Chains A and B, each alone.
Chain A
Amino acid sequence: MLEKKVQILVCSGNRCNSGLLIENLKHAVKDQGLDDYIKVIRTGCFGLCSSGPVVKTMPDNIIYTGVNPEDARVIVEEHFVKGKPVEKLFYTDPVTGQKISDEKRLNKNKKQIRIALRNCGVIDPEDIDDYIAHNGYEALAKALTEMTPEQVIDVVKKSGLRGRGGAGFLTGLKWELTRVSQSETKYVVCNADEGDPGAFMDRSVLEGDPHSIIEAMAINGYCTGASEGLVYIRAEYPLAIERLKTAIEQARNYGLLGRNIFGSGFDFDISLRFGAGAFVCGEETALIHSMEGGRGEPTLKPPFPSQKGYLGKPTNVNNVETFANIPVILYKGADWFASIGTEKSKGTKVFALAGKVNNVGLIEVPMGITLREVIFDIGGGIKNGKKFKAVQIGGPSGGCLTEKHLDTPIDYDSLVAAGAMMGSGGMIIMDESDCMVDVAKYFLDFTVDESCGKCVPCRIGNKRMLELLENITKGHGNKPDIERLRNLGNVIQDTSLCMLGQSAPNPVISVLKNFPDEFEAHVSHKKCPSGVCKSLMVYEIITENCIGCTACARACPVSAISGERKEPHKIDPILCIKCGACMERCKFNAVIVK
Chain B
Amino acid sequence: MNKIKTIDALRALRTNIIRNKHFEEGTEPVIIKIALATCSNASGARDTYNYLVSELEKRNIETAIIKTGCMGYCYAEPTIEVRLPGHEPVVFGYVDQQKADDIIRKYIIEGELVEGIIPVNYRTIES
Contact = CB atoms under 8 A, between A and B. Distances in A.
A-B complex is real = yes
Interface of A: 1-5, 7, 9, 11, 39, 41-47, 56, 58-59, 61, 103-104, 107-108, 110-115, 117-126, 129-130, 132-133, 135, 137-138, 141-142, 145-146, 200, 203-205, 207-209, 237, 239-240, 253-256, 262-263, 328, 332, 358-364, 378
A592 B19 CA distance: 70
Given A110-B123, A262-B4, 6 more contacts: A45-B121, A110-B121, A124-B66, A125-B68, A262-B10, A359-B75
B113 A9 contact: yes
A122 B124 CA distance: 11
B104 to A, nearest CB: 12
A254 B75 CA distance: 38
B13 interface: yes
Interface of B: 1-7, 10-11, 13-14, 17-18, 21, 33, 35, 37-39, 41, 66-76, 79, 81, 84-85, 87-88, 93, 109-115, 117-125, 127
Contacts of A114: 122-125
Q: List 8 A-B pairs, minimum CB-CB distance, nearest first.
A: A208-B69, A47-B121, A255-B3, A121-B71, A112-B122, A362-B72, A43-B117, A141-B7
13 contacts: A1-B111, A43-B119, A44-B73, A44-B117, A44-B119, A118-B125, A120-B68, A120-B71, A121-B33, A124-B68, A204-B70, A262-B4, A378-B121
Most B CB atoms within 10 A — which of A240, A254, A328? Answer: A254
B75 A112 contact: no
B4 A255 contact: yes
B127 A126 contact: no
B112 A203 contact: no
Contacts of B110: 2-3, 5
A138 B15 CA distance: 13
Contact of A56 (B21, B76, B119): B119
A255 B125 contact: no
Contact of B10 (A103, A107, A141): A141
Nearest to B109: A1
A2 B111 contact: yes
A361 B74 contact: yes
Nearest to B35: A121
Given A108-B127, A237-B38, A256-B4, A120 B119 contact: no
Most B CB atoms within 10 A — which of A138, A256, A362? Answer: A362
Contacts of A110: 120-123
Given A56-B119, A133-B18, A262-B6, A363 B75 contact: no
A496 B18 CA distance: 54
A103 B119 CA distance: 10
A120 B37 CA distance: 10
A573 B127 CA distance: 63
A118 B124 contact: yes
A361 B75 contact: yes
A207 to B, nearest CB: 4
A203 B38 contact: yes
Contacts of A47: 119-122
B29 to A, nearest CB: 12
A359 B73 contact: yes
B72 A9 contact: no
A103 B13 CA distance: 32
Given A120-B70, A254-B1, A132 B17 contact: yes
B4 A208 contact: no
Given A5-B111, A208-B69, A133 B14 contact: yes
A210 to B, nearest CB: 9
A545 B93 CA distance: 47
A264 B112 CA distance: 53
B10 A137 contact: yes
Given A120-B71, A124-B67, A59 B10 contact: no
Contact of B125 (A115, A125, A203): A115
A41 B113 contact: yes
B59 to A, nearest CB: 11
A226 to B, nearest CB: 22
B21 to A, nearest CB: 7
Nearest to B119: A46
Contacts of A253: 1
A364 B120 CA distance: 13
A142 to B, nearest CB: 7
A262 B13 CA distance: 14
B86 to A, nearest CB: 8
A200 B111 CA distance: 36
A145 B39 CA distance: 39
Contacts of A43: 117-119
A340 to B, nearest CB: 10
A403 B117 CA distance: 31
B75 A239 contact: no
Most A CB atoms within 10 A — which of B85, B118, B122? Answer: B122
Nearest to B39: A200
B73 A39 contact: no
Contact of B113 (A7, A207, A360): A7
Nearest to A253: B1
A4 B72 CA distance: 31
